[in-house]
């Protein structure tokens, strides 16, 4: 009896031991991703909603795909204040975490501060915004949204399809006086040279301007056929209201993606102030039948975020990083991965836009500004956002 009992106990203990060992062997690999946000700078009002959108997506991944992939991700947001010096300090601290496999960046100060450091530290970054001409082939920053200057050029080409005048289309480009704004303006001017369009005015506005009347006077005096407004949360409403007050033809105005029509409503801009205006965007956010919207809708009650241009700029950046991590882990089996393995998956990778974007295709070695391959024109019409075009292939 004693021997039988002992054997039973021994077998039970062995089985439990094997169970524990098996559970330990199957424990997911835990990694961290760092998100550089602005809680204290010029885009501070976006910080929390963007963080919440990113957190929603990471939690969705952990709960729906992470366990199957053998992955658990920890999301770590940090404030860089849209400032290069603060970005460097935050990055140095982030490097102390050896589980970090990727970074999501927020604006040009992040990109400028980090792009020459990432390759040596073997940390890829996915940018939650447009690409910039300062980005060089082979760098470790990936931009799902691609090049905004190509967006503006594509919108110009679309407008020219219905242009019947013998003279060139007169274009005014209005942006904020900062590194991003100047980069977009310079890049757009280069792309517009090959078209029947003339940039008659490039207007840089101080991000802290509280009176834009003089800027609008210059815009109207230029007699434009098309006006691109690529500014900030604070400037865009002021410019639109001032143009409207001066009885400008608002159908000539094209809002940029990062200050899109959906955001204007959330900012409390009266709809009649931008009735008729257009938006050029890579994000099909008016379509609520997409997989992207369904992911958001299924979890929105848990998070303080919004389905709007400002937060959706960061949807593809997070999803690309998550998908690259998942692919890298699949190749590694149960082994651990690092930033270099994630970079290898993105280097010339094609990624799912989940219906929000079209195809996302990277070729970092030859075209670091490549990302989304198409845009759509939207218009504020009859008090709501409507589609004015199908997806248009980007001018390159």
pLDDT in tens, 234-262: 999 999 999 999 999 999 999 999 889 98
Which CATH number do you get for residue 292? Answer: 3.40.50.2300
In a domain, 21, yes or no: no
Q: What is the pLDDT of residue 316?
A: 96
User: Both 97 and 155 in a single domain?
Assistant: no
What the block records as the tokens of 235 is 């400037």
Helix axes 235-245, 213-221, angle to 10 degrees: 60
In a domain, 357, yes or no: yes
Q: Is the pLDDT of residue 25 over 70?
A: no
In the predicted model, what is the mean pLDDT of residues 76-102?
Answer: 97
Rounded to an integer, what distance in angstroms lies between the CA atom of residue 219 and that of residue 24?
Answer: 66
The string over 306-339, giving b where at least 16 C-beta atoms fall within 10 Å of a residue's C-beta and e elsewhere, is: bbbbbbbbbbbbbbbbbbbbbbbbeeeeeeebbb
| Site of tokens 């009649």 | 272
| Whole-number Cα distances in Å, 102 to 18, 71, 140, 361 | 35, 14, 10, 18
User: Both 155 and 300 in a single domain?
Assistant: no
User: Both 244 and 382 in a single domain?
Assistant: yes
Q: Is the pLDDT of residue 273 over 60?
A: yes
DSSP H or E segment with residue 155? helix 148-160
Q: What is the pLDDT of residue 310?
A: 82
Q: How confident is the model at residue 272 (pLDDT cuts 50, 70, 90)?
A: very high
In a domain, 386, yes or no: yes
User: Both 126 and 67 in a single domain?
Assistant: yes
- List all residues 6 or more positions away from 363 whose beta carbon is below 8 Å from its beta carbon: 348, 370
Rounded to an integer, what distance in angstroms lies between the CA atom of residue 49 and that of residue 253?
Answer: 27
| Whole-number Cα distances in Å, 275 to 156, 254, 314, 347, 359 | 20, 12, 27, 42, 31
Q: What are phi and psi of 181, to 5 degrees?
A: -60, -45
Q: Is the pTM of this model over 0.85?
A: no
- List all residues 6 or more positions away from 214 whose beta carbon is below 8 Å from its beta carbon: none
In the predicted model, what is the mean pLDDT of residues 270-283?
Answer: 96
Q: What is the pLDDT of residue 381?
A: 96
Cα dihedral sign, 331-117-107-359: negative
In a domain, 139, yes or no: yes
Neighbours of 115 (CB within 10 A): 20
In the predicted model, what is the mean pLDDT of residues 125-149?
Answer: 93
Pairing of strands 360-361, 384-387: unpaired
User: Both 303 and 359 in a single domain?
Assistant: yes
Describe the strand order of the beta sheet including 100-105 as a list of residue ranges. Answer: 71-79, 29-37, 100-105, 125-127, 141-142
User: Both 239 and 340 in a single domain?
Assistant: no
User: Both 163 and 224 in a single domain?
Assistant: yes
Pairing of strands 392-393, 374-381: antiparallel
In the predicted model, what is the mean pLDDT of residues 153-164?
Answer: 97
Q: How confident is the model at residue 10 (pLDDT cuts 50, 70, 90)?
A: low
Q: Is the pLDDT of residue 186 over 90?
A: yes
Q: What is the pLDDT of residue 262?
A: 87
Q: What is the pLDDT of residue 24?
A: 46
Q: What is the pLDDT of residue 42?
A: 84
In a domain, 360, yes or no: yes
Q: Is the pLDDT of residue 135 over 70?
A: yes
**Residue span of the structural domain in which 297 resides:** 29-146+287-365
In a domain, 173, yes or no: yes
User: Both 124 and 185 in a single domain?
Assistant: no
Q: Is the pLDDT of residue 170 over 50?
A: yes
Tally: H helices and E strands in the chain: 15, 15
Rounded to an integer, what distance in angstroms lies between the CA atom of residue 202 and that of residue 36?
Answer: 30
User: Both 306 and 186 in a single domain?
Assistant: no
What's the domain count of the chain? 2
Tell me the pLDDT tens digit for each residue of 285-343: 988 999 999 999 999 999 999 998 789 999 999 999 999 999 999 999 999 999 999 99
Rounded to an integer, what distance in angstroms lies between the CA atom of residue 64 and that of residue 292?
Answer: 14
User: Both 275 and 240 in a single domain?
Assistant: yes
Q: What is the pLDDT of residue 6?
A: 53
User: Both 140 and 193 in a single domain?
Assistant: no
Q: What are phi and psi of 217, to 5 degrees?
A: -60, -45
In the predicted model, what is the mean pLDDT of residues 94-113?
Answer: 95
β partners of residue 36: 78
DSSP letter (8 states) at residue 305:
-
In a domain, 12, yes or no: no
User: Both 46 and 193 in a single domain?
Assistant: no
In a domain, 19, yes or no: no
Pairing of strands 360-361, 350-351: antiparallel
Q: Is the pLDDT of residue 159 over 70?
A: yes
């Amino acid at each position: 009896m004693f021997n039988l009992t002992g054997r039973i106990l021994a077998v039970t203990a062995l089985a439990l031991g094997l169970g524990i060992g098996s559970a330990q062997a199957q424990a997911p690999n835990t990694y961290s991703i760092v998100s550089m946000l602005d809680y204290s700078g010029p885009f501070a009002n976006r910080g929390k909603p963007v963080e919440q959108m990113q957190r929603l997506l990471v939690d969705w991944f952990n709960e729906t795909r992470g366990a199957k992939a053998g992955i658990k991700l920890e999301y770590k947001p940090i404030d860089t204040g849209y400032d290069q010096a603060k970005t460097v300090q935050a990055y140095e601290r982030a490097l102390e975490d050896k589980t970090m496999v990727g970074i999501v960046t927020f604006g040009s100060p992040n990109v400028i501060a980090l792009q020459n450091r990432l390759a040596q530290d073997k940390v890829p970054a996915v940018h939650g915004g447009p690409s910039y001409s300062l980005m060089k082939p082979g760098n470790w920053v990936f931009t799902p949204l691609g090049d905004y200057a190509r967006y503006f050029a594509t919108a110009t080409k679309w407008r020219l399809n219905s242009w019947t005048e013998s003279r060139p289309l007169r274009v005014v480009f209005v942006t904020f006086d900062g590194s991003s704004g100047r980069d977009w303006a310079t890049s757009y001017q280069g792309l517009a040279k090959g078209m029947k369009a003339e940039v008659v005015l490039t207007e840089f506005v101080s991000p802290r301007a509280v009176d834009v009347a003089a800027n609008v006077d210059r815009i109207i005096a230029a007699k434009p056929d098309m006006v691109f407004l690529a500014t900030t949360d604070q400037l865009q409403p002021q410019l639109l209201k001032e143009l409207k007050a001066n009885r400008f033809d608002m159908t000539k105005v094209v809002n940029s993606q990062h200050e899109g029509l959906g955001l204007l409503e959330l900012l409390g801009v009266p709809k009649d102030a931008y009735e008729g205006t257009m938006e050029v965007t890579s994000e099909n956010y008016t379509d609520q039948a997409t997989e992207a919207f369904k992911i958001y809708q299924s979890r929105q009650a848990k998070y303080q975020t919004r389905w709007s241009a400002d937060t959706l700029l960061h949807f593809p950046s997070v999803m690309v990083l998550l998908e690259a991590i998942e692919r890298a882990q699949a190749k590694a089996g149960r082994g651990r991965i690092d930033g270099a393995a994630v970079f290898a998956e993105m280097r010339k990778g094609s990624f799912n836009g989940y219906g929000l974007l079209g195809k996302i295709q990277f070729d970092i070695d030859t075209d670091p500004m490549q990302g989304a391959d198409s845009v759509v024109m939207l218009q504020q019409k009859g008090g709501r956002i409507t589609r004015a075009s199908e997806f248009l292939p980007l001018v390159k």
